[in-house]
């Protein structure tokens, strides 16, 4: 069974048909740059471009980097503030000629995919997936059940929004070495661990392709820490899963 998934990020918008029997992309993904400013109209145009690249004519699942409830975007930390309060599912459906569109938080989508097909498969207890990229997204699970819109990237860390200290953007903007950045990530994980006592951390986002660069350098965390197996495709897969669930 194939369903289309789109992953909206602060720097790029990517999508592809997903084979939900395998939990993997059915075709190579297509990616466009996120417009600046990342307004609803501009981003919607990019989503349409990605979907039409494949001549897709069915349901579409879409992730968004912020809180999403019933298809409405409630926050937009790394997007234009005009997104707050927008019925994003309705907006994208109208731009996609009435195709059914399901929208969910981007990290929640990645987490759902990892729990079904990747590093979280079969893991009970508390699991936290963190996507490290332009910001920090989070997905919180207890015995396989998602607690949506956790937004743990906005916890306070040393007087700052955590993602301004420990995201990949913070590493790149600050010119930090892997060692320096890993210390920051370790302090952030230790803070999250203090609050939630997870059994497992899954680290997602593009940086999950390079786990050897930083995971061995993280100290002071008791929980097991593993890279996301679906890497940066997890959001696309999770978006497609959400669209399938919405159609049942």
pLDDT at residue 4 above 70? yes
Q: How many residues does the chain have?
A: 248
The number of beta carbons lying within 10 Å of the beta carbon of residue 72 is 17
Question: What average pLDDT does the segment 151-159 reach?
Answer: 93
pLDDT, mean over the chain? 96
User: pLDDT tens for residues 50-85?
Assistant: 999 999 999 999 999 999 999 999 999 889 999 999
Separation between Cα atoms, residue 30 and residue 9, nearest integer Å: 13
User: pLDDT tens for residues 86-111?
Assistant: 999 999 999 999 999 999 999 999 99
**Residue 248: what pLDDT?**
53
CB-CB contact of 191 with 155 (8 Å): yes
Q: Please give the domain boundaries of the chain with CATH numbers for all domains.
A: 2-108+233-246 (3.30.420.40), 122-229 (3.30.420.40)
The pTM (predicted TM-score) of the whole model is: 0.94
Separation between Cα atoms, residue 233 and residue 248, nearest integer Å: 23
Separation between Cα atoms, residue 148 and residue 150, nearest integer Å: 6
**Residue 101: what pLDDT?**
98
Q: Closest by alpha carbon to 148, among 174, 170, 129?
A: 129
């Amino acid at each position: 069974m194939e369903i289309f998934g789109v992953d909206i990020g602060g720097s790029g918008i990517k999508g592809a048909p997903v084979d939900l029997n395998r939990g993997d992309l059915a075709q190579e993904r297509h990616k466009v740059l996120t417009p600046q400013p990342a307004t609803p109209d501009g981003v919607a145009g990019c989503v349409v471009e990605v979907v039409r690249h494949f001549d897709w004519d069915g349901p579409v699942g879409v992730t968004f980097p912020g809180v999403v409830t019933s298809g409405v975007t409630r926050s937009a930390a790394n997007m234009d503030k005009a997104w707050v309060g927008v019925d994003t599912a309705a907006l994208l459906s109208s731009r996609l000629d009435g195709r059914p569109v399901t929208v969910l938080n981007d990290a929640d989508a990645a987490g759902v995919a990892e729990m079904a097909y990747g590093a979280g498969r079969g893991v009970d207890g508390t699991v936290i997936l963190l996507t490290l990229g332009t910001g920090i997204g989070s997905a919180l699970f207890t015995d396989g059940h998602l607690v949506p819109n956790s937004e743990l990237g906005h916890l306070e860390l040393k007087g700052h929004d955590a993602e301004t200290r420990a995201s990949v953007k913070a590493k790149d903007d600050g010119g930090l070495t892997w060692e320096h950045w890993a210390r920051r990530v370790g302090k952030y994980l230790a803070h999250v661990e203090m609050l939630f006592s997870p059994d497992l951390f899954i680290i997602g986002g593009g940086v999950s392709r390079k786990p050897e660069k930083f995971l061995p350098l993280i100290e002071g965390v008791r929980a097991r820490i593993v890279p996301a197996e679906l890497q940066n495709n997890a959001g696309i897969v999770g978006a497609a899963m959400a669209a399938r669930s919405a159609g049942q």
